[in-house]
Amino acid sequence: MYETRAYSAAGAASPLAATTIPRREPTERDVQIEILFCGVCHSDLHTVRDEWHDVMPTVYPCVPGHEIVGRVTAVGSAVAGHRVGDVVGVGCLVGSDGTCPQCRAGFEQFCPNGVFTYNGADRHGTAPVTYGGYSGGIVVDQDFVLRMPGNLDLAAAAPLLCAGITTYSPLRRGGVGPGKKVGVVGLGGLGHMAVKLARAMGAHVVVFTTSPGKAEDALRLGAHEVVLSRDAGQMGRHAGSFDFILDAVSAEHDVNAYIHLLAPGGNLTLVGAPEKPLPVAAFGLLFGNKSLSGSLIGGIAQTQEMLDFCGEHGITADVEVIPIQKINEAYERMLRSDVKYRFTIDMASLKG
């Protein structure tokens, strides 16, 4: 084992602070990566503050970060497909058994032995739980290391590893494409990626935002229309008209208002993971055979497919690059919906 610099939280009420963490020596299957950039996901904040206690309690110290882009510094003898010097990505997953029905179907995120990039059971015994990307380096099994397209800005591409795949996957499942009217609720990190992706897939895209100041940006990002969701008149004009709506809101809100906007047979998929349950009116779904779904990140093959799609279409996140020393301030701004539209940590700042 060796030590690397990182930022961790000591408890649910503690700010993130500089520390060192252990990393394993690369095994024959491992890729050792120097982290260049790490995106800041709202899930990092939920986890650091133990807001998902009932589902996935946080083990401290907690080192978040699952939108990782870095350079390969060493590979084990059995590693094929990644070489020293390659620019690679790591998302929300770093392990799975590879043999269960979910793994074989390409849904490693549902493997009973799956390992999340942080706050997951560390099967190598390096630490009680896995430590994520707010660190100088990481060692990852080769099957969970992604190839980054060569044409994308790396700081702006980091958020693809979570925000990108989390929105790409349900948009694909929802059959989003030409002739489809698609809504995106919440113009944050996930939401703005959904807008870019749905537009590139050829759909008619409508953004729902609580922030009037984001309306112009929504159009620039690729939306055809913007609705201020607190304006009942604007909402009413879209009643019964959507094929698919992706809800990427991080806090309590009224999903029934969006079910009302679905056309018969339409689907509302939740990717946002608010701390508290959301009430759903059954009749809203009954009239029109509408459905409500959820979606969790995406499997490894689909993550590579998404990266390649983004490379082809020149899609990255709109990022504000920050030094790691600004991470606590960034969390406060994220809570105020004041992010345009993803923070990315320049990991060189960790040495400062």
Taking residues 255 to 274 in sequence order and writing x for each that binds ligand NAP by CB under 6 A, - otherwise, the string is ----------------xxxx
Phi, psi of 320 (to 5 degrees): -110, 110
Phi, psi of 270 (to 5 degrees): -90, 130
Q: How far is the CB of 164 from ligand NAP (least distance, A)?
A: 10
- Least Cα distance to 260 among 277, 235, 279 occurs for 235
Residue 334 sits in the site that holds ligand NAP (CB under 6 A):
yes
CB-based contact 27:142 (threshold 8 Å)? no
Answer for which of 8, 32, 43, 58 binds Zn ion (CB under 5 A) is 43
Q: How far is the CB of 28 from ligand NAP (least distance, A)?
A: 31
Q: What is the residue-wise DSSP string for 122-191?
A: -TT-SSSB---SSBSEEEEEGGG-EEPPTTS-HHHHGGGGTHHHHHHHHHHHTT-STT-EEEEE--SHHH
Residues 97-156 that bind ligand NAP (CB under 6 A): none
Partner in contact with 33, chosen from ligand NAP, Zn ion, none, beta carbon below 5 to 8 Å by kind: none
Residue 176 sits in the site that holds Zn ion (CB under 5 A):
no
Q: What is the residue-wise DSSP string for 10-62?
A: SSTTPPEEEEEEEEPPP-TTEEEEEEEEEEE-HHHHHHHTTTTTTTSPPPSSB
Taking residues 275 to 294 in sequence order and writing x for each that binds ligand NAP by CB under 6 A, - otherwise, the string is --------------------
Measured from each CB, the residue nearest to Zn ion is 41
Angstrom distance (rounded) from CA 128 to CA 119: 9
Residue 330 sits in the site that holds Zn ion (CB under 5 A):
no
Scan for tokens 């919440």, then name that residue: 186
Q: Which is nearer to ligand NAP, 217 or 243 (CB)?
A: 217
Axis-axis angle for helices 300-313, 163-173 (nearest 10):
100
Q: Which is nearer to ligand NAP, 33 or 319 (CB)?
A: 319
Residues 162-191 that bind ligand NAP (CB under 6 A): 162, 166, 186-191
Q: How far is the CB of 227 from ligand NAP (least distance, A)?
A: 10
Binding site for Zn ion (CB under 5 A): 41, 43, 162
Binding site for ligand NAP (CB under 6 A): 41-43, 46, 162, 166, 186-191, 209-211, 214, 248-251, 253, 271-274, 295-297, 334, 337, 339
